Amino acid sequence: MKLTKAIVALEPMQPLHTNWSLQDVSVGDPGEGEVLVEICATGICHTDILLSAVPAGTFGISYPKVVGHEGSGIVRAIGPNTKNISVDDPVLMSYHSCSSCNQCCNSHPAYCDSFAVENYVDQSTSMTLSRTGEAIHSRFFGQSSFSRYSVVSEKSIVNVRGLLQDETELKLFAPLGCGFQTGMGAVCNTSNAGPSDSVMIIGLGAVGMGALMAAKIRNCAMIIAVDRVDSRLQEATAFGANHTINTATLGSRALSDAVQSLTPGGPSIVIDTAGAPAVLEEALESMQQRGKLVLIGVPPLGYKLPLNVITHINKGHLIIGCIEGDCIPSKSIPQMITWYREGLFPIDKLVQYYKITDYEEAVAQLKKGAVVKPVLTWE
């Protein structure tokens, strides 16, 4: 048992508002297939916020819990039957999968049959609140990395021994486990974009910027970046976008019209990371024949995308849901690190570090679009 601190999510007092607080917690010993990780850093993702801002029972979610799913750290203890991990190994963390269902066995673990259960609502309770002894749900994405120490499933771990120049890079590479990975995979895996493609990316957070960098790596013919924050559009231009569209200044002009003026016929691939219904519907209309719409952003609960089936048939459009970019973290994370070293995936220009005690400021800056990827550090 180890005494430490963690950002604990209690049930929200108001709908769609998180109820986080830094508290003393006790962390148990790792069990079979688990390791104890001393967390160095963890990125904040919108999923952390979304899934701790809903009432208990929604999607099977329980409180109190510790979220965080873009963690990095050093292994301090290992449980029985743990493979390919040793004490003192530096590790990055990503999502959890069962490793045995049809999708996992066919190299698509992001579509694991039990993905939601394993990552969003797992009921494991290796932590307790020190002041009350109350159990804390503490296996979010197999890691719950908003804690100084956490018992982590080995299935969520990517061992980066030999891939780091020094351990300080654990802070920089922490967010590779979800946001950047999802955007990169949306381009390289889900849509398989290439030199003949014109790609429109909607939403320029970590997922969108990951997609933009990957589209540049794939030598896509045109990259159109869409957002409502000018600073992000300027950043997108610096990262290689050919054109930008600010949806906040379109007025009565339709997004589809603005897109058509840039690429007659429309983009061949649209990657939506925002989930804004009006923008999503116009993006679908804007695509060229046989275009692909990749859905990543989460729209309001219950939203249904209206679809004219005859038009859809005639245009040959393909609409694809995307989880984690259909990536296998043990392959995608080393690849992103290689691209970073080659200057092709400059995430250092997108990351902003915050001390763990400043988590509220980090969340506020993320929500208003002032920072692409906030990373909390334990120092």
Of residues 339 and 300, more confidence is placed in 339
Residue 254 has pLDDT above 90, yes or no: no
pLDDT surpassing 90 at residue 252: no
Alpha-carbon distance 362 to 273, whole Å? Answer: 20
What is the per-residue pLDDT for 251?
78
| pLDDT for 226 beyond 80 | yes
Q: What is the pLDDT of residues 134-169, one digit of tens each?
A: 999 999 999 999 999 999 999 999 999 999 999 899
193-215 burial, b for 16+ CB within 10 Å, e for fewer?
bbeebbbbbbbbbbbbbbbbbbb
Identify the pLDDT of residue 253.
76
Cα distance between residue 362 and residue 174, in whole Å:
15
Q: What is the pLDDT of residue 264?
A: 86
- Indicate if the pLDDT at residue 262 is higher than 90: yes
Q: Which of 66, 52, 291, 273 is nearest to 180 (CA)?
A: 273
For the chain, list the domains and their CATH numbers: 2-177+346-377 (3.90.180.10), 183-323 (3.40.50.720)
- Model confidence pLDDT, tens digit, residues 87-109: 999 999 999 999 999 999 999 99
Strands 71-78, 90-93: pairing is antiparallel
pLDDT at 256 (0 to 100): 87
- Distance CA(42)–CA(73), nearest Å, equals 9
pLDDT tens digits along 46-92: 999 999 999 998 888 999 999 999 999 999 999 999 999 999 999 99
pLDDT band at 1 (very low <50, low <70, confident <90, very high): confident
Query: Hey, what are 289's tokens?
Result: 């024949």
127 — pLDDT class (breaks 50, 70, 90)? very high
In the structure, what pLDDT confidence band is assigned to residue 3 with cuts at 50, 70 and 90? Answer: very high
Residue partners of 57: CB distance under 8 A and separation at least 6? none
Q: 361 pLDDT exceeds 90?
A: yes
Query: H or E element: which one contains 76?
Result: strand 71-78
* Per-residue model confidence (pLDDT) at position 13: 87
Query: Apex CA 355: angle with CA 160 and CA 163, to 5°?
Result: 10
The tokens for 294 are: 């990749």
Q: Which pLDDT value is given to residue 134? A: 96
Other Cβ atoms closer than 10 A to 343: 7
| CA distance to 50, 282, 296, 309, 310, per residue, from 305 (Å) | 21, 11, 13, 12, 15
pLDDT value for 14: 86
Average pLDDT over residues 347-362: 98
Alpha carbons 141 and 48: distance in angstroms, whole number = 10
The number of CA neighbours under 13 Å toward the Cβ of 261 is: 8
Residue 124 has pLDDT above 90, yes or no: no
Q: Quick check: 128 pLDDT over 90? A: yes
Q: State how far the Cα of 225 lies from the Cα of 162, in Å rounded to an integer.
A: 35
Report, as an integer, the average pLDDT of 244-263. Answer: 89
pLDDT at residue 298 tops 90:
yes
Is the per-residue pLDDT at 130 higher than 80? yes
236-251 in b/e burial notation, b at 16+ Cβ within 10 A? beebebbbbbebeebe
User: Percent of the chain beyond pLDDT 70?
Assistant: 100
Does pTM surpass 0.85? yes
Terminal C-alpha separation, the chain: 21
Q: Are 143 and 156 in contact (CB under 8 A)?
A: yes
| pLDDT band for position 319 (cuts 50, 70, 90) | very high
- Max Cα separation, the chain? 63
